[in-house]
Structure 1
Amino acid sequence: MTAGDPVGGVRPNSTRVMNLATVLSQQARRHGGEPGLVWRDRVWDWAELETRVNAMAYALVHEFGVQQGDRILVQSSNCNQMFESMFAAFRVGAVWVPTNFRQTPDEVAYLAQSSGASLMICQANFAGHAEASRNASPALKQFIAIGESGFGEDYDAIVARNLGQTIKAAAVDRDDPCWYFYTSGTTGRPKAAVLTHGQMAFVINNHHGDLFPGTTHEDRSIVVAPLSHGAGVHQLCQVAHGCTTILLPTEKFDIDGLWRLVEQWKVTNLFTVPTIVKMLVEDPAVDRYDHSSLRYVIYAGAPMYREDQKRALNKLGKVLVQYFGLGEVTGAITVLPPMMHSAEDGPHARIGTCGFERTGMQVEIQDDQGNEVAQGETGEICAIGPAVFAGYYQNPEANAKSFRNGWFRTGDLGHMDEQGFVYITGRASDMYISGGSNVYPREVEEKLLQHPAISEVAILGVPDPVWGEVGVAVCVPRAGERVEAGELAAWLDGKVARYKLPKRYVFWPDMPKSAYGKIAKKLIREELEKRGDLNDAPQRLSA
């Protein structure tokens, strides 16, 4: 054997990988009669799901002419058809392009146009979204409706006439796209992050190894968020190990109903965002149902404030798992497992960290020139590894900004300690400069949340003629509590440097959140401007 010559002179196919839809077929073979999906009063076993996905995949190719690489836009709230559509698209080698179902018709029309989708699967109650998408994108010529509609044939009718048909999963390479994961668009238009079959196969193994080890076909997972984004990645991983997926029966978030399902199905894991965890553990329903089956409550999308962490740990026990990452890296940057979550402050508690590097991933804190900063210094959190996406679809400008020397730039600021634990300071876009000093709002937000009357808080930098920028703290008091700006200013005095103190306090009954339940500062800034609170901030409110 010579240098550069593969094993024994045989050159293997180095890029061919498993089609992701195969994970469903594997469960149908091994656990066919066991529950695979639960929604409302229906339970589909793995064999039935495989049959339905085969039927739709067959129709996509033989009735709708879908070819490998075609994009399929999906506008739907969580339902069995939405769940199945992922595997049907993967099976034929098409690209699954799910939308956030709460987006407006015009917003979805942009996704249709920018993705180049040729077929749309759309719930019947979103007829306006289908029409807007048709008008915006000449490439979009075919529609499948979930339910009776005037814009396309019903999904279930198509499945029914093709039951019994089978189709071999398309041959795919490692870098073949399977999913356009649209970013939330906090700065400008949403961008399509290209996720691939090879990348997602790594993510499945990585999630199982780092987030919910030991998950098997005897486990149950409940879906708390739309399948179009992080929850969809999570559920794909559950399918890979035969874990039953349980969808909430209504679009409206029913906390009592969720805890009832946890008790009924003995749910062992769920994935959500910190604000939803906060809502779940602060609602009285948490004490009405048995949730002792939970082993992993996985939260991501934003750091969890320390006071909220403590409440969740005291209510649920050591089941919290934090991971940090973006859709572009499918969350796989760092992990903080249950054993490193502590309800008690102390020398051994890892307070404020988002964890250490995920298996197979590397993290580096870099300055503006791409150089690694010294231990403990603040810089941009950057990552490399097999979980990093293939780039943004047809967006070279965004790719140029997001990659540097092979590293993916997260846009998050933070530092790393001597043991490799990463601490997030905040988004680079959240930082503001007051009197020439950098201010990172999260530090101050953490202190305000320790005040017993404050439930939620967000601090934004706004222009100021004297200091350049100053902080405005938007606060949500707890129910029945009354608090004034002077009281909060006194609370912060001595806890943080004076230049970091907010100059104004605004009190609202609730906080604007994204469709995924995250506190979204872009929405808060828009609301501040709409209310005129940037100019004349009210100083107190009784909630």
Structure 2
Amino acid sequence: MIPTSNLAHFLLQTARRFPDRAGLIRGEHVWTWAEVAARVRAAAGGLRACGVGKGDRVLVHARNSHAMFETMWASWMLGAVWVPTNVRLTPPEVAYLAQSSGAVAHVFDDAFPDHEAAARDANPNATVHLRIGADWDGLAHHGAPLAEAVAVDRDDPCWFFYTSGTTGRPKAAMLTHGQMVFVVTNHLCDLMPGTSEHDVSLVVAPLSHGAGIHALAQVARGAATVLMPGERLDCAEAWRLVEKHHVSNMFTVPTILTMLTRDAAVDRVDHSSLRYVIYAGAPMYRADQVHALRKLGPVLVQYFGLGEVTGNITVLPPHLHSIDDDPAFPIGSCGYPRTGMEISIRDGEGRGLPAGETGEICVRGPAVFAGYFDDSEATAKAFAGGWFHTGDLGHLDAKGFLYITGRASDMYISGGSNVYPREIEEALLLHPAIAEACVVGMPDAKWGESGVAVLVARDGNPPPAEDVLRQLDGRLARYKWPARIVFWDALPKSGYGKVTKRDVRRRLEEAGPA
């Protein structure tokens, strides 16, 4: 047992240092750090009065808001585990997360009554049911304030970051207090050096994932966080807020960054306050990267990571981005290892490979998670040989810069979100007219990658594409739906009878876009 600082202390310490400075901003409403901390203390006390305690899981399904932000810190004040979900998930998908996490508390946005009902039915373990809005504000205003954060150990979980394996079944990656203290420190060291209470960060992505982790670093330094007024990305409004609040940093994914820099509003506002525009979560087309550099200047920061390592694998800082394809720059690289982290390229037998050779990207260091909740088999496989196996393929050059060349799994990334083909294939095969299904990720100018479903009709008479897509309605979130459906007479197979996705992709490339 190794006692460590509870993550909630980032907020409490900042509120003591800068009580009257703006902490959270949305529209015309400004919450000072003292006000944010007071609401969090009261909400934590209210949750405790409801029976939530150390180690309990708190499932949160909500859009970005000041209350959603507060659920994170109130959970940690209690030593509880924050379990945020992707708001694009369907009711059955959220119900599975509620059940598999064993959450004792459900906190839902008013906009998701069907999700709330499905989670309640699937998870009878939950005894606390709250709505963002009246219920949460009641706790934040009237709860008996918690005097101090609950003591925690380094390896106590604080966040269940849901990810998926090659089976497509979501797994809860256990992020711990000790791990996340390192991650926050590393973000400030490698991604945003010099960040202070004078900085301002704009949130343009869901707080439930990478943007939430990014926000922790802002709280640790007292930098104000600005939330968008609506749930959808409004590029013109985002640029207006950058100018109004003198925003100095923001976390994006390549799709969002491309939308922002290709919107006409980028040329109408003063965005010279920007120091760090971070993009992660998916590869970025070189043309889009160059365009963003031309519009914003040398402020881009790329990092490579995944939920289990909380983004902490590589960094490519502003001075290593180049508009020209200068060979002196690591064009096409996602950067070098983050401070305190180690990368190794391993072959199929687990042996380390020299520079220039392609293998699986494996990592180790303080940013690596504690394992998958209630899944010892998956945890053991992920840590085989003493390294965490990312499932991505790549190589290191002689200087240690990492280049991602493919994926060990069939997963693809669309608009910054991981998509797992098997989950889609299984849903498609529920259609009575579909005999075989294969989904692959293909390049997409807007989303980075999008899915193409190659299907074989059961009787040789393909159903309409609209009829096939209706099979996915209510079963899968829309971002997982294939962008294109193709029917073939048969799928290519190996000598063992398995569909060879490499051959599927090759035939699709040869055929060209439909």
TM-score normalised by the chain length of structure 1: 0.78
Whether contact under 8 Å (1:86, 1:96) holds in the other structure is yes
- Alignment partner of 1:125: what SS? coil
Q: Aligned to 1:353, what secondary structure does the other structure show?
A: coil
For 1:192-231, what aligned pairs fall within 5 Å after superposition? Answer: 192-231=172-211
Change in Cα spacing, 1:25 to 1:344, as seen in structure 2 (3 Å) is same
Alpha-carbon distance change, 205 to 120 in structure 1, aligned in 2, over 3 angstroms:
same
The offset of 1:477, in angstroms, is 9.0
Distance (whole Å) between structure 2 residues aligned to residue 29 and residue 470 of structure 1: 52
What SS does structure 2 have at the residue aligned with 1:117?
coil
The one of 425, 428, 436 equivalent to 2:408 is 428
Task: Show structure 2 runs of 5+ residues with no match.
Answer: 414-418, 422-437, 448-468, 470-476, 491-506
Task: Write the distance in 1 (CA, Å) between the matches of 2:365 and 2:373.
Answer: 20
SS in 2 for 1:405: helix
C-alpha separation between the residues in 1 aligned to 2:399 and 2:272?
Answer: 33
- Where relative contact order (Cα < 8 A, 6+ residues apart) is larger, the structure is 2
Mapped contact 1:57–1:167 kept (Cα < 8 A): no
CA contact (8 A) 2:47 2:139 kept: no
**Which residue does 2:103 correspond to in 1?**
117
Correspondence 1:256 to 2:256? no
Q: 1-side partners of 2:92 and 2:441: how far apart?
A: 32
Q: Please give the secondary structure, in 1, of the residue aligned with 2:42.
A: helix
Q: Is the aligned partner of 1:155 residue 2:136? A: yes
1:157 is paired with a residue whose SS is helix
Residue 190 of structure 1, CA deviation: 1.1
Shift of 1:400: 2.3
- After superposition, what is the alpha-carbon deviation per residue over 1:455-490, rounded to whole angstroms, capped at 9, x for unaligned? xxx9x9xxxxxxxx9999665599xxxxxxxxxxxx
Structure 1 residues 476, 229: closer, same or farther in 2, change over 3 A?
closer
Q: CA offsets per residue over residues 112-153 of structure 1, 9 Å max, x none?
A: 0000001111111211111111100120121111135xxxxx
After superposition, where does 1:23-34 map in structure 2 within 5 Å? Answer: 23-34=10-21
Native 8 Å contact 1:221 1:243 kept in 2: yes
Can you list the C-alpha shifts for 1:402-440, whole angstroms capped at 9, x where unaligned? 111220000111001111111110212359xxxxxxxxx
The verdict on how the C-alpha distance between 1:199 and 1:473 changes in structure 2, with shifts beyond 3 A counting, is closer
Deviation at 1:29, TM superposition (A): 0.6
Supply the distance in 2 between the matched residues of 1:306 and 1:280 (Cα, whole angstroms). Answer: 16
For residues 476 and 16 of structure 1, do their structure 2 counterparts lie closer, same or farther at Cα, with a shift above 3 Å needed?
A: closer
- Deviation of 1:385 (Å): 0.2
Q: Deviations over 1:386-412 (max 9, x none)?
A: 000000000122112211122000011
Q: d(CA) in 2 for partners of 1:472 and 1:162?
A: 48
Equivalent AA in structure 2 for residue 46 of structure 1? W
Name 2:369's counterpart in structure 1: 389
Would the aligned equivalents of 1:89 and 1:95 in 2 still touch at CA under 8 Å? Answer: yes
Preserved contact between residue 340 and residue 349 of structure 1 (Cα < 8 Å): yes
How far apart, in 1, do the equivalents of 2:166 and 2:266 lie? 33
CA deviations over 1:361-400 (Å, ceiling 9, x no partner): 0000000111011210000010000000000000122112
Which of the numbers 309, 325, 333 marks the counterpart of 1:329?
309
Contact 2:343 2:362 in 1 (8 A): yes
Report the Cα offset of residue 65 of structure 1: 1.1
Gaps of 5+ in 1: 1-13, 149-153, 432-440, 443-457, 461-468, 479-511, 513-519
State whether residues 10 and 220 of structure 2, in contact with CA within 8 Å, keep that contact through their aligned partners in structure 1. yes
Offset of residue 160 of structure 1: 1.8
SS at match of 2:97: helix
Distance 1:177 1:534 in 2: 50
Change (3 A) 1:377 1:104: same
Whether the 8 Å CA contact 1:119–1:143 is kept in 2: the answer is yes
- Give distance in 2, aligned partners of 1:109 and 1:215: 39
Hey, what does 1:284 align to over in structure 2?
264
1:36 equivalent to 2:36? Answer no
User: How far, CA to CA, are the matches of 1:410 and 1:521 in structure 2?
Assistant: 26
Instruction: Give CA deviations for 1:471-521 in whole Å, capped at 9, x if unaligned.
Output: 99665599xxxxxxxxxxxxxxxxxxxxxxxxxxxxxxxxx9xxxxxxx99
Q: 2:33 matched to 1:53?
A: no
Equivalent residue runs for 1:292-371 within 5 Å: 292-371=272-351
Work out which of the two has the higher radius of gyration on C-alpha atoms and give 1 or 2: 1
The C-alpha deviation readout for 1:297-334, integer Å capped at 9, x for no partner, is 01111122211111111111010101111110001011
Separation in structure 2 between the aligned mates of residue 533 and residue 85 of structure 1, nearest angstrom: 49
CA contact (8 A) 2:166 2:410 kept: no
Query: Residue in 1 aligned with 2:54?
Result: 68
Q: Which residue of 2 aligns with 1:78?
A: 64
The counterpart of 1:415, out of the listed 395, 399, 407, is 395
Secondary structure at the counterpart of residue 33 of structure 1 = coil
CA distance in structure 2 between the partners assigned to 1:424 and 1:521 by the alignment: 27
Query: Which residue of 2 is the match for residue 92 of structure 1?
Result: 78
| Partner secondary structure for residue 342 of structure 1 | coil
Q: Distance in 2 between matches of 1:357 and 1:252?
A: 33
Q: What's the offset of the Cα at 1:185?
A: 6.3
C-alpha separation in 2, matches of 1:527 and 1:409: 30
**Contact 2:166 2:409 (8 Å CA) reproduced:** no
Which residue in the other structure is 1:466 paired with?
none
* 8 Å contact from structure 2 (residues 101, 172) kept in 1: yes
Question: Does 1:128 pair with 2:84?
Answer: no
Q: Is the 8 A contact 1:212 1:296 kept in 2?
A: yes
Give the whole-Å Cα distance in 2 for the aligned partners of 1:15 and 1:470. 46
Following superposition, the deviation at residue 108 of structure 1 comes to 0.6
